[in-house]
Amino acid sequence: ANFEKDPAAFEKKKSKMVMKFGDTKYQWGIMEGMGVPASEIPKFSETDHWLTFFPPHCMQDLKNMGLSADWRRGFITTDVNPYYDSFVRWQFTRLKAKQKIKFGKRFSVFSPKDNQPCMDHDRKSGEGVGPQEYTGIKIKLLSPFPAGLKNLEGKNVYLIAATLRPETMYGQTNCFVKDDIEYIAFEARNGDVYITTMRAARNMAWQELTPEYGKVNVLHNLTGSDLMGAAIKPPRCPFEKVYVLPMMGVKANKGTGVVTSVPSDAPDDYAALMDLKNKQPLREKYGIADHMVKFDPVPIINVPGFGDLCAVTTCDQLKINSQNDKDKLLLAKEKCYMKGFNEGVLLVGNHAGKNVKVAKPIIKEEMVAAGEAFKYQEPEKAIVSRSGDDCVIALCDQWFLEYGEEKWRAVTEECLKDMECYFSDTRQAFERTVDWLKEHACSRSYGLGTKLPWDEQWLVESLSDSTIYMAYYTIAHFLQKDIYGSQEGDLAIKPEEMTHEVWDYVFLKNAPFPETTISREKLEKMRTEFQYWYPIDMRSSGKDLVQNHLTYCLYNHTAIWDEEPDKWPRSIRANGHLLMDGEKMSKSLGNILTLDQAVKIYSADGMRLALADAGDVLEDANFNIAQANAGILRLHTLIEWITETVQELPHLRTGSPDHFYDKVLANDINTAAAQADQHFSNTMFRDGLKVGFYEFLSARDRYRELAAAGAGMHRNLILKYIKAQIIILAPICPHICDYVWREILKEHGSVVNASWPEYQQPDDSLTKAADHLMETVHDFRIKLKNYTNPNVKKKGKNIAPNEVPNHITIFIAASYPAWQEKTLNYLKENYSPNAAQPFPENTAILQYLKTLPEVKPFMKKLMPFVAYVKAQVVEKGPSVLESHLAFDERALFEGNREYILRSLDLDSMEICEASTYADQKLVADVCPGKNLCKFEKRELDPVEKGHVDVTFVNIQPCTPFFKQHLKVYDTDLVSDVIARLKRADRKLKSRSVELYRYVDPEKGPRQLLAFDQPMLWNKRRLTDTSQIQLCPEQGLKSGINQLGDTLCYVVS
């Protein structure tokens, strides 16, 4: 059967080289793309040049982007650094002593050209790809042989089919080849002759399946056409003789090019067989006689829900008519293979009645022992070494780490269980890797690296010598002065003094004091440093390394510190790759952006902001150029606003910040500080940026809008906001934040040393109230626009727009009607937030609720209401299911009356309980949190009150504000007058306005201005809470002061 993918296999990822450089094939082109000068590139033919060229550039690029690191602890991880070389030799000596390293023949990815195993970091492509084990089924070729093979008559000739499902061999009806694929007949080790593709034969040669290791003795070259119609006898086949048939889907680069056919359980096989059965022209094309396709599918496995012929049932269900129905066949395979493997039960053979998952390995071993099959491995996908060689899977002598050994695996699983992985996908990837990971070749014959201490003809390969190097970080600065270890470090210790016993004492808690020339004081200093820093709080790396390097890290920690579980890693944070505007970075697309280039284009903080906004999850992050440019503008605008606001601080309101909008901003500060703290702690920088910058800016804008309609911004509160914003943003944009902190706010020290903003538990009800206010006003704006500009026709005639209103009636409801409350309670009780469908099916909801007497009269409204509630839950969360609001709607609207009126450009507002309104049809849909409104034109002048016509003059030079003539009524508050003034001039809508009276109301307006103090000279401010009175003899007064008929206003 053409089982291309093991149902239990772990799927590998594409290589980082492909992600970075796309179609670039040569190192010269790659280096040019990275900005390496052409004159420098030839020097890289010397291995040491790699070590001297790149590290300084990398360090400088990281410094340019603002990375804060202890650069004293940097080091090179090869034997060029004698201290690190000594560290790795100690590590491997201890691993061997603990019997974690062994020698012998093992299957490994191997480069014949390099004549050594090819580990992940030695590959040009295919990183993360491992061996795939098949069962090589020996299908005996029966006499008479095809014409091209006549000289092999008398020999045992076998077509070799590679399968992942040996337990299905009881249902073979034929085998498939492809007519234009090139095959070879070659000599096997036992004297038999095998027929496969050259690619498969090459793998087999390196697995000791040919007479000479690594050599293929080709006896004949042939094509699939030469094999068509040949008689064969597959092992465990229920028929004495079957035939070789054509199949279009056979691949030359997967398996052996020969596919054993089990049409009962393989949809591809069934579709191909039925094509041949039903299409005589197809048979004639390939010379297939009718008797060669007379075999019907054989029931061998019972699959629940699919019966004894799983593939047949699935193909019928999906109406698959041909092997050309590729999409349907792919779906059919997914259905059949997983279900059959996990739930199928064998019907035939010695293991009838057993679950397929249980029987598979038993039958495989039986067939190998009986000589009917052999174990065969090949790369899961194509692997190309850095030398350009197509790699094979080879059985070779090597030193290997015995990952997967039962006890070692168990303790590593214990380490993983207690470790923070941040994402469930990361944990699952670790669990899968620990589940399949077996022996890993840790040695190679040449390259960069440390020599194995006990067998110096071998080098430690690059993934194995850097699994616990985090421990070396803790003491690196004591040992070495530079990254190459060419100079002694702070403690003046020589490399040769770092013996295995010294390393033991530094890193292992129970190790005895060694015999050494190093003083106890120095050793204790290193030992204390290690104990202080270890274990690793967080190891951050790419998601592609979970399947190798990061899992090796866990294994090695549990081996070296087997008696100290408190030294095992506490967390590993995996991340995806980086896309550029949604596409991989590659030279062919012209979108490669190096770190150095990004800093020069976007600045360090601009780039960091875009990176933080690119994404944090395992999916590839996306560096969006438009967002990067917009981010720079946002940062610039933020600096400008802070500068202007700090200059205006002396003029802002003081006293108690007890207005509604003050409380909302204070709560927003608590929310931003609390949530950003949580997100940053979990390394979710995009989420932290969202709440700590974007939403925090929106909170500021909301405050400015609400405060402008009231008493204005509060000095201390807005300053608290600015400081909180700068501290929260500092981890992302430290340079800009430090500039604001020092130069604008005049704070001492650096912002990176400032304490995180202190915060209280955010008040959720206050947040909901503010959101509800803003959403409601936004909704009313839309309704007002539609009211004044209906834009509809009736019977072909345009409807005249309504008269511009000046009054709004807002309808509220303190509680839900009984039928809605019953509906809410049912939805709340049956809400499952973590389920795929959080609510029951609509039919179930309807079935239950229609039995309730409170609901029956409202059946037409029931399901629309349910749909509305579901949508609100998705948008706002489960609090929507509560039958009462967390705040008082009437108090909310009443307390923000002036904001509502100003936003809608109206003069008066009324709040009405919907249940008391005469027209119940109009307010039928009103419920808690869902308001309706009514606009109308009313006569609003309080004719029963006396009034005076007053002229309002803006005496600020160079402003767009001019004289206004308004009525001022008896008992008006100054805040009422300011509101009326703002409604008269829309330019004042979002500004803070203060009223001033003249000290001498008669002479004042006619006196020349003192231009150095136009707002203070001969004027006094009227506080917003002051009341204005109309006296028959003295005119307008505020307290004991006469106001006259001219007042001044100042805009900020």
pLDDT digits (tens, 9 = 90+) for 240-288: 999 999 999 999 999 999 999 999 999 999 999 999 999 999 999 999 9
Name the residue type at position 876: K
Q: What CA dihedral angle connects 838, 842, 848 and 853, to 10 degrees?
A: 120
- Provide the sign of the torsion angle of the four alpha carbons 486, 487, 490, 492, taken in this order: positive
Average pLDDT over residues 341-364: 93
Residues 6+ apart with CB under 8 A from 702: 661, 664, 668, 770, 774
Average pLDDT over residues 835-846: 89
Please provide the DSSP assignment of 384-439 as one string. Answer: EETTSPBPEEEEEEEEEE-TT-HHHHHHHHHHHHTSB-SSHHHHHHHHHHHHH---
What is the model's pLDDT at position 11? 42
What is the model's pLDDT at position 940? 56
pLDDT digits (tens, 9 = 90+) for 597-606: 999 999 999 9
pLDDT digits (tens, 9 = 90+) for 812-837: 998 888 888 899 999 998 898 888 88
How far is 401 from 443, CA to CA, in rounded Å?
Answer: 9
Confidence class for position 881, pLDDT limits 50, 70, 90: confident
What is the model's pLDDT at position 69? 92
What is the model's pLDDT at position 10? 37
pLDDT over threshold 80, residue 1012: no
Helix (H) or strand (E) holding 994: strand 993-998
Residues 6+ apart with CB under 8 A from 181: 197, 223, 224, 250, 252, 257
pLDDT over threshold 80, residue 379: yes
pLDDT over threshold 80, residue 941: no
Confidence class for position 796, pLDDT limits 50, 70, 90: low
Confidence class for position 23, pLDDT limits 50, 70, 90: very low
What is the model's pLDDT at position 879? 84
Judge contact between 311 and 263, C-beta under 8 A.
yes
Name which of 545, 625, 615 is nearest 585 in CA terms. 625
Judge contact between 542 and 577, C-beta under 8 A.
yes
**Alpha helices for 877-896 (secondary structure H):** 889-895
What is the model's pLDDT at position 22? 45
What is the model's pLDDT at position 679? 95
pLDDT digits (tens, 9 = 90+) for 71-109: 999 999 888 999 999 999 999 999 999 999 999 888 889
pLDDT digits (tens, 9 = 90+) for 737-758: 999 999 999 999 999 999 999 9
pLDDT over threshold 50, residue 343: yes
pLDDT top residue among 1007 and 199? 199
What is the model's pLDDT at position 722? 97
Judge contact between 224 and 285, C-beta under 8 A.
no
What is the model's pLDDT at position 971? 83
Tokens coding 894:
């009443």
Left if phi > 0, otherwise alpha if psi is -120 to 50, otherwise beta: which for 162? beta
Please provide the DSSP assignment of 57-88 as one string. Answer: HHHHHHHHTT----GGG----STTSHHHHHHH
Average pLDDT over residues 928-957: 82
Name the residue type at position 668: D
What mean pLDDT value characterizes the chain? 90
What is the model's pLDDT at position 601? 93
pLDDT over threshold 80, residue 989: no
Whole-number Cα distances in Å, 331 to 466, 770, 781: 42, 50, 51
Kindly report the CA angle at 434 between 431 and 437, in degrees rounded to 5? 140
What is the model's pLDDT at position 1011? 64
| DSSP state, residue 550 | I
Which residues, in sequence order, are bridge partners of residue 965? 951
What is the model's pLDDT at position 507? 97
What is the model's pLDDT at position 21? 43
Name which of 91, 67, 59 is nearest 482 in CA terms. 59
pLDDT top residue among 26 and 947? 947
Name which of 207, 226, 224 is nearest 216 in CA terms. 207
pLDDT over threshold 80, residue 939: no
pLDDT over threshold 60, residue 938: yes
Name the pTM for this structure. Answer: 0.73
What is the model's pLDDT at position 1009? 66
Pairing of strands 947-954, 964-969: antiparallel
Residues 6+ apart with CB under 8 A from 320: 267, 271, 314, 328, 329, 332
What is the model's pLDDT at position 689? 96
Helix (H) or strand (E) holding 375: strand 373-379
pLDDT top residue among 605 and 941? 605
How far is 253 from 199, CA to CA, in rounded Å?
Answer: 7
Judge contact between 817 and 862, C-beta under 8 A.
no
20-34, 437-451, 999-1013: the lowest-pLDDT one: 20-34
pLDDT over threshold 80, residue 840: yes
265-269, 778-782, 841-845, 983-987: the lowest-pLDDT one: 983-987
How far is 315 from 305, CA to CA, in rounded Å?
Answer: 14
Judge contact between 37 and 437, C-beta under 8 A.
no
How far is 1024 from 694, CA to CA, in rounded Å?
Answer: 33
What is the model's pLDDT at position 28? 81
pLDDT digits (tens, 9 = 90+) for 604-642: 999 999 999 998 888 889 999 999 999 999 999 999 999
Average pLDDT over residues 335-359: 91
pLDDT over threshold 60, residue 207: yes
Average pLDDT over residues 320-342: 90
Order of strands across the sheet that contains 908-913: 908-913, 807-812, 932-936
Helix (H) or strand (E) holding 373: strand 373-379
Task: Quote the percentage of the chain above a pLDDT of 90.
Answer: 63
pLDDT digits (tens, 9 = 90+) for 697-736: 999 999 999 998 888 899 999 999 999 999 999 999 999 9
Confidence class for position 944, pLDDT limits 50, 70, 90: low
Residues 6+ apart with CB under 8 A from 706: 660, 661, 664, 896, 899
**Alpha helices for 211-319 (secondary structure H):** 224-227, 267-278, 280-286, 310-317
Judge contact between 982 and 902, C-beta under 8 A.
yes
